[in-house]
Structure 1
Amino acid sequence: MHLLQIRLHQTYAQIGMRTIQPVQEIKQVPADLSIKQIPSEMNIERTPSKLVVDQEEAWEQLGFKSLTVLKAEFIDNAKQDGLQAIAEIAEKGDQMAAIQNKTDAIVAQAAEKANPQPADFNITFIPSPGSVKIQFTPAEVHISWKPGGAEINSIQNKPIHNYTPGKTEIYLRQKQGLEIDFVGGNIDNTR
């Protein structure tokens, strides 16, 4: 006996996917930068050094005198010499006038003139130590300083951003189906 068979043929549904990738573009524009340099300032004030050498006394001791000093010395020496000559003449006159002493004044004066006293001398250093006077004033330096710097101005730029979103399309690629077949449709009862 043949039984009737049912054959089922099933087709599953299939879906398809079509994808378009997203596109992203980012562009960074550099910042606008402005830099201004301010220079430093330095001011130097300098007073020069000063050296004063006074050697007038040393030159005078060596005999190189200025006209005013020479004139004053000549006047002073002439005055002293004149007074000394007057004193000597007066003394000799007093000796001659003193006849009461019973001395021969003329012989004594002639002997004194013929045999003078030895000259008084000594060793001296010319010019004498300390006759050159030195005065020194050192230089002075004053420095004033003003620091500079930099002025920086910065403007930030935002990034340029372009974005195209992606897509995913879903479609039915194959429909589902069910086929039913009946096989062996004859029934044999003879058996």
Structure 2
Amino acid sequence: MNIPKLQIQTTPAKLALQIDKPNQQIEQPKADQQIEQPAAILEISTMRPQLSLDTTENRADLDLKSIIRRNKENAQYGIQQVSEGTARRASEGQQLMKIENGASIADIAKQNTGRPQTELGIRFVGDRTKIQMSFSQGSLNINVTPQKPVHNVQINKPIHNYTQGKVTGVLEKYNSIEIDWKA
């Protein structure tokens, strides 16, 4: 017996995907900054030191005296010389009164004519220990007031560009069915 045969041949469909990739761009601009540092406030106050030197005695040693001091010294010297002269004359009078003891006018004349010997040598004038010195300290005050910095910042938003991707299905090959009878 010959039974007819049924032959079925199928071809599947072929499906492809077409993909357009997404595109994304992100850019972050830098922030805008302005920084300013004001100068500190500086206050300086000083009081000068004072040094006083009194060289009156050293100047007097160099014979650089004031008129008032010179007049006082001359007056004292005059009084001293008058009293010495008076004492000398009284002493000479006493000697002449005692002429019987062997004193003579010649002896008195010898006493008055002898010159005193002067000292030879170097004498330093201007003794530094005679300088009168006074000193008052000065002062220095420094006040600094720092100033805070001025900081202005403007943040820029990011720039974001996005193109969406796309997926499309494409049928590359259609499916098919072939049915055949064979005897």
Q: Does 2:104 align with 1:108?
A: yes
What is the SS of the residue equivalent to 1:111? helix
Structure 2 spans left out of the alignment, 5+ residues: none
CA separation in 1, counterparts of 2:105 and 2:124? 37
Deviations 1:66-94 (A, max 9, x none): 22211111111112212232333344445
Aligned residue number for residue 16 of structure 2? 16
CA contact (8 A) 1:17 1:169 kept: yes
Aligned sequence identity (%): 24
CA contact (8 A) 1:57 1:131 kept: yes
Q: TM-score, normalised by structure 2?
A: 0.75
Aligned residue number for residue 66 of structure 2? 66
Root-mean-square deviation (CA), in Å? 3.3
CA separation in 2, counterparts of 1:153 and 1:102? 120
CA separation in 2, counterparts of 1:180 and 1:169? 32
Deviations 1:123-179 (A, max 9, x none): 784424623445555664433333344221212222122222211112433332211
Aligned residue number for residue 82 of structure 1? 82
Q: TM-score, normalised by structure 1?
A: 0.72
Please tell me the residue identity of whatever aligns with 2:8: L
The count of corresponding residues between Structure 1 and Structure 2 is 180
Judging changes above 3 Å, is the alpha-carbon distance between structure 1 residues 109 and 52 closer, same or farther for their aligned structure 2 residues? farther
CA separation in 2, counterparts of 1:8 and 1:78? 169
CA contact (8 A) 2:92 2:108 kept: no
CA separation in 2, counterparts of 1:83 and 1:103? 28
What is the SS of the residue equivalent to 1:38? coil
CA contact (8 A) 1:14 1:174 kept: yes
Q: Does 2:55 align with 1:55?
A: yes
What is the SS of the residue equivalent to 1:130? helix
CA separation in 1, counterparts of 2:108 and 2:95? 13
Judging changes above 3 Å, is the alpha-carbon distance between structure 1 residues 92 and 113 closer, same or farther for their aligned structure 2 residues? same
What is the SS of the residue equivalent to 2:45? strand
